[in-house]
Amino acid sequence: MEVELQSPGGLQRVLRVSVPADRYDKAVDKRLRQIGTRARIPGFRPGKAPMKVIAQQYGDQARADAISELVRETWPEAVQQAEVNPAGQPSFEVDDETQGTDLVYRASFEVYPEIELKALDSLAVERPVAEVTEADIDRLVENLRQSRKSKETVARAAAEGDAVRIDFEGRIDGETFEGGSGENQEVEIGAGRFLPELENGLVGHAAGETFDVPVTFPDDYQAEDLKGKQATFSVTMKEVNEVTLPEIDAEFLEAHSVDPEAGVDGLRAKCREALEREQKKASRNQLKAAVMDRLLEAHQFDVPQAMAADEIGRLREETVARFQAAGLSDEQKKQMIPDELLQPQAQRRVSLGLLLGELIRAHSIELDQQRLDATLEELAAEYEEPEKVKQHYRSQPQMMQGLRAMVIEEQVVDHILASATVTDKSMPLEELLNQRQGG
């Protein structure tokens, strides 16, 4: 068998394969004989028709089947002979299928890029550092109280902290604008979820009143056509509710799994523990993201588009699952989430996967079984029945494979950090956690 490797450009390769005529002819004859044993041809008993008759009626089918079988058989041989490593599945095209001559086909495919790893000590990353302060604990305690707040409708004018229900319609130069109106909207005055001028303009008005509130959109407003514009909102106050926060009593403490005898101090201690866990996770995740960013910046290489296309498919399925949009056809999924939207993330994932794989090979990084066990322990500890969670993971090969991939990725990050230049960047805890949510 002869093979000829061609390089049209980039990662693209074409392998021209010539299968000897005798091997091709034998494969066709084999298929004809197989067909002949079961073919029903008028004038002949089953399996007794002459091969010449079989060839006349089933020759095209036999050649097609033989070609398919030969391509499947010879493709791995050709790859080994040409010493190439295809990235993704090839596309095949038959050049010459004439019997009595060599079977010639071409396989088009991409190869993996050659990655020249940079010295790890050339990388520089920032590690976010944040301390849990008493003010952070105060905010969390307040959030816990807010989550259990009660509301009572009152027959008085609205005040700061009240939750009101309104209809509103905004106009600019007398004209309504998109997104500027709403009905039965609940606004908690002072919460900052609406424009401050609009929230402040609700103070002092009781249910049943209709009034105007002048508002100037900030220069950094998200809607480009509204930045800096002056508007007037016509508001109808429909309901005023007084918001009451719960006392931190025994019932409140028990609801948050705190011993009532521990009191407020016990609650605050638990809040500190929770915030420290969140700080640790957020700091680690941002440090890891910074390492990945620096890796990508330091290594420029082409990505096999076949791999990117596969990754786009996986990302689309992940997105569909998150939106719980099961039942859509593949075409509907593509219309809802087009390739262009997923392309940058797919490129990044594939690039990082190739880079990390090269680092693992180059530095002989092996999975740390103790770290894997510790990670599973930590993950299971967040649930009420940790042992059942661990058993479930261990009974699911796909879940364990995902966990192994996560752990060895963490090992690669630690390996890089051991050589890279790492500088600490102090920031408030609230900023650190907000960055994590924004990312």
Q: Enumerate the β-bridge partners of residue 423.
A: 126
pLDDT of residue 334: 87
The CATH code that applies to domain 150-244 is: 3.10.50.40
Please, where in the chain does CATH 3.10.50.40 lie? 150-244
pLDDT of residue 88: 85
pLDDT of residue 223: 87
Low-confidence ranges of the chain (pLDDT < 70): 45-47, 325-326, 436-439
Please, where in the chain does CATH 3.30.70.1050 lie? 2-111
pLDDT of residue 214: 96
Measured over the CA atoms of residue 417, residue 421, residue 427 and residue 431, the dihedral's sign is negative
pLDDT of residue 437: 54
Query: What amino acid is encoded at 395 in this protein?
Result: S
Global pTM reads: 0.74
pLDDT of residue 419: 95
Is it true that domain 2-111 has CATH number 3.30.420.10? no
pLDDT of residue 33: 85
By DSSP bridging, strand 103-111 and strand 86-96 are: antiparallel
pLDDT of residue 54: 77
Measured over the CA atoms of residue 294, residue 298, residue 300 and residue 304, the dihedral's sign is negative
Q: Which CATH number fits domain 258-303+343-438: 1.20.58, 1.20.120, 1.10.3120, 1.10.3470?
A: 1.10.3120
pLDDT of residue 329: 83
